[in-house]
A = this chain, B = another copy of it.
Amino acid sequence: MRAVDVIMKKRGGGELSRDELAFMVQGYVSGSIPEYQISAWLMAVFFKGMSARETAELTELMLRSGKVMDLSGIEGPFVDKHSTGGVGDKVSLILAPLAAACGVRVPMMSGRALGHTGGTLDKLESIPGYRTGLKEAEFREFIAADGFAMTGQTAEIVPADKKLYALRDVTGTVESIPLITASILSKKVAEGAEALVFDVKSGPGAFMKTLEDAEALARSLVNTGTAMGKRIIGVITDMSEPLGRMVGNFFEIEETLDCLEGRGPQDLMEVTMRLTAWMLVAGGKAKGIDEALGMCERCLASGRPLELFMANVRRQGGDAERMLALRGKYRSQHSFELRAPRSGYIHSIDAYKIGLAGVYLGVGRDTAADPVYPDVGFIFDKKAGDRVAAGDRIAMVYGKDVTSLEAAQPLVEAALSLGSEPPTRQSLILKEITAL
């Protein structure tokens, strides 16, 4: 078999056999096929797509390029949630202890902030002492103890994806539904999940800007995961505005505590409860979404999720007392206030612009090597739908230094749009996809 023939077959719209896909993936990982052939192939895949079978086989091949987490000996069901990334998206931090308290096991492997989107690992590491690089034995032990654990991906998990993603990133081949599907799904299956809920975000602050693209990705994830024998649910949620009232690393830990104490903001809780409820359905703990939502409500009110969260913080090395002491006080000295330039109703606070401003402030990063800061970000007093008078404070904005504030300010101001009439309010749950 020659790589150039496989490239030309895909270029012509042909469906690749399992052997041809294996030849490319294994050849790339082993180094026998050079990067210039892989990148030409990826571009041909970008233009010509992949069938459901090809996507499932690519996912399997990537999965098998590395280690699959062994969770045997721990009672399941093992259910995880994955989000395509947003701004203010701290859902995982609330959902993991909530789902665990409802009886499913959550083996959660998360990522870091990149570009305008935040990262769960960066948020957790803003808790003094918290360790996100768990050894496999610790990950297993902590899941058995608290029902969930939070870690980063190890080098052994899907090495093919690390290599392929790095190449896609520099060759303009990221935005391909089958390639995104295989990348996401191979990692989630490798962490040991039997059932998965995908939060595919749609809107200006999301990777998928349109509902149509988000739905295509959600369907691809559901179909491919189902073909691999997993129970998969796709939920498309709106990412026009940052989720919740806080955006930042430690800021979002604070808001997580608010939510677990039953005082979470409506938008964030709507998304969190819905995704958690679907995890219970996917894990067989509830028969339908309404029953599952009721279970989540009662469970949250019991205080058990908050206890599990605190237990996890301690177990992963975090200084829980220090975390609580810092709450409301861990604020950079460099700040400005975003005030309403005139009276009216807030129509939107653009999540993408806020996310980009966050990179300047020190919430996120441009490249994987950049540091992030715990005590910077946004605290919103008002959000879309709220009425403001001229001069009302809309948000406090904290940055790592004065320069960062100056860079962020025009973006933050441009993120705000006001109108004279109240905006129409819609659910953040845009669509749910449960099977082929």
Binding site for B on A (CB under 8 A): 3-4, 7-8, 11, 34-40, 42-44, 46-47, 167, 169-173
List of B residues within 8 angstroms of A4 by Cβ: 169-172
List of B residues within 8 angstroms of A34 by Cβ: 35-36
Q: Report yes or no: A37 in contact with B7, Cβ–Cβ below 8 A.
A: no
A234 vs B265: C-alpha distance when bound (angstroms): 71
**Which residue from B40, B46, B47, B169 sits with its C-beta under 8 Å from A39?**
B40
**Closest-CB distance, A106 to chain B (whole angstroms):** 35
**Which residue from B35, B47, B169 sits with its C-beta under 8 Å from A35?**
B35
Q: Report yes or no: A36 in contact with B170, Cβ–Cβ below 8 A.
A: yes
List of B residues within 8 angstroms of A39 by Cβ: 36-37, 39-40, 43
List of B residues within 8 angstroms of A8 by Cβ: 172
A4 vs B4: C-alpha distance when bound (angstroms): 22
List of B residues within 8 angstroms of A3 by Cβ: 170
Can you offer 16 A-B residue contacts whose CB atoms are under 8 A?
A3-B170, A4-B170, A4-B171, A7-B171, A8-B172, A11-B172, A35-B36, A36-B167, A36-B170, A36-B171, A39-B39, A39-B40, A40-B172, A43-B43, A43-B44, A44-B172
A172 vs B43: C-alpha distance when bound (angstroms): 11
A332 vs B158: C-alpha distance when bound (angstroms): 58
List of B residues within 8 angstroms of A38 by Cβ: 36
A167 vs B169: C-alpha distance when bound (angstroms): 21
List of B residues within 8 angstroms of A46 by Cβ: 11
Q: Report yes or no: A43 in contact with B170, Cβ–Cβ below 8 A.
A: no
A305 vs B257: C-alpha distance when bound (angstroms): 94
A288 vs B24: C-alpha distance when bound (angstroms): 55
A107 vs B3: C-alpha distance when bound (angstroms): 38
List of B residues within 8 angstroms of A171 by Cβ: 4, 7, 36-37, 40
Number of copies: 2
Q: Report yes or no: A40 in contact with B173, Cβ–Cβ below 8 A.
A: yes
A142 vs B326: C-alpha distance when bound (angstroms): 88
List of B residues within 8 angstroms of A36 by Cβ: 34-36, 38-39, 167, 170-171
A172 in contact with B7 given A43-B40, A43-B43 (CB within 8 Å): yes
List of B residues within 8 angstroms of A35 by Cβ: 34-36
Known: A4-B169, A44-B172. 10 other contacts (CB 8 A): A7-B172, A11-B172, A34-B36, A36-B167, A36-B171, A37-B170, A39-B43, A40-B43, A40-B173, A43-B43
A47 vs B38: C-alpha distance when bound (angstroms): 17
Task: Give A167's nearest chain B residue, CB to CB.
Answer: B36
A8 vs B171: C-alpha distance when bound (angstroms): 8
Task: Give A42's nearest chain B residue, CB to CB.
Answer: B40
A169 vs B7: C-alpha distance when bound (angstroms): 11
**Closest-CB distance, A163 to chain B (whole angstroms):** 12
Most buried by B among A3, A7, A8, A36: A36
List of B residues within 8 angstroms of A42 by Cβ: 40
List of B residues within 8 angstroms of A173 by Cβ: 40
**Closest-CB distance, A276 to chain B (whole angstroms):** 37
List of B residues within 8 angstroms of A37 by Cβ: 39, 170-171
Task: Give A12's nearest chain B residue, CB to CB.
Answer: B172
**Closest-CB distance, A117 to chain B (whole angstroms):** 19
Most buried by B among A11, A37, A40: A40
A137 vs B44: C-alpha distance when bound (angstroms): 46
**Closest-CB distance, A40 to chain B (whole angstroms):** 4
A37 vs B36: C-alpha distance when bound (angstroms): 7
A34 vs B34: C-alpha distance when bound (angstroms): 12
Task: Give A5's nearest chain B residue, CB to CB.
Answer: B172
**Closest-CB distance, A6 to chain B (whole angstroms):** 9
**Closest-CB distance, A238 to chain B (whole angstroms):** 26
Task: Give A38's nearest chain B residue, CB to CB.
Answer: B36
List of B residues within 8 angstroms of A47 by Cβ: 43, 47
A171 vs B11: C-alpha distance when bound (angstroms): 10
A34 vs B39: C-alpha distance when bound (angstroms): 11
